[in-house]
Amino acid sequence: MPSITKITRAALAAVALFLPLTHAGPHKHCKDTTRQLSCSGTSTNTCCISSPYGLFQQVQFWDTSPATGPPDSWTIHGLWPNACNGSYSEDCDSTRAYTNITELLIEDGQEEVLKFMKKYWISDDESDEAFWEHEWKTHGTCISTLEPECYEEYQTGEEAVDFFRTVVGLFRALPTYSWLAEANITPSATQSYPLASLNAVLGQAFGKPVVLLCQDTDVVYEIYYGFNTEGPVSDGNFIPAENEGSVTNCPDLVRYLPKGNSSSAGEERPSRSDVLEKGNSAKHHEL
């Protein structure tokens, strides 16, 4: 199975696929010597080191009813920053709550990113554009290295483009469905799997423990992959990390349903705060 180093390189390679040659990029003042690992201490250079929210969770969906995305792939939920202990803020800058994500991507020459998002970053209950706008507004605006002042010759919206390129690149390096399938864990309408088996397979492939979430008591529907960063989110290294402050709500035996199958209970999905450890004093919001 891939080591932490291999996963990190794969993630960076995937991100690089979406960096056009004409994109000069921000953070030219961030030298290698300043690329401290996020969550390893306090930093005043928040353009080069993600702070105070330095733990990033790449979150993926397994939507079965209604089904979204290809039958053999999980889909993107987002990239969520938190303060390394499970606490977090949301909606950090209302002045950058862009309502034209599609337009921003096209203007920056990111048609391939947009095409990928239309296939793998899709909503089950609203327009895809509205979903993307929500993820940027709620989570992307809280990433310190994507602040406008961190860019040279800043142009409105370019930090949002960097956010979406980065999330797509990370997702491409985290093939949840394939990792499980290689261990003969495939969607089934009749079979249940030990949660420990899924955790072991995915944790070994990723290099750190993951957090799986369930709805309708025992139906797997979401996963959290944790990362720290070295350098800015837009062009730094993503290092697999513990999902500090997040815990599973799944039982010991879980169902991994095929897309198109519905569970019987029809319970609502847990919110982000439902998977945080008790005692977290952060203010929680709906996802």
Q: Please give the positions annotated as active site.
A: 77, 135, 139
How far is CA 210 from its chain centroid?
12
- DSSP-assigned letters across all residues of 84-149: SSS-------GGG--S-HHHHHHHTT-HHHHHHHHHHS--SSS-HHHHHHHHHHHTGGG-GGGSGG
Under 8 Å between Cβ of 70 and 260: no
From the number of C-beta atoms within 10 Å of its C-beta (0-12, 13-18, 19+), residue 106 rates as middle
* Token pair belonging to 77: 């939920």
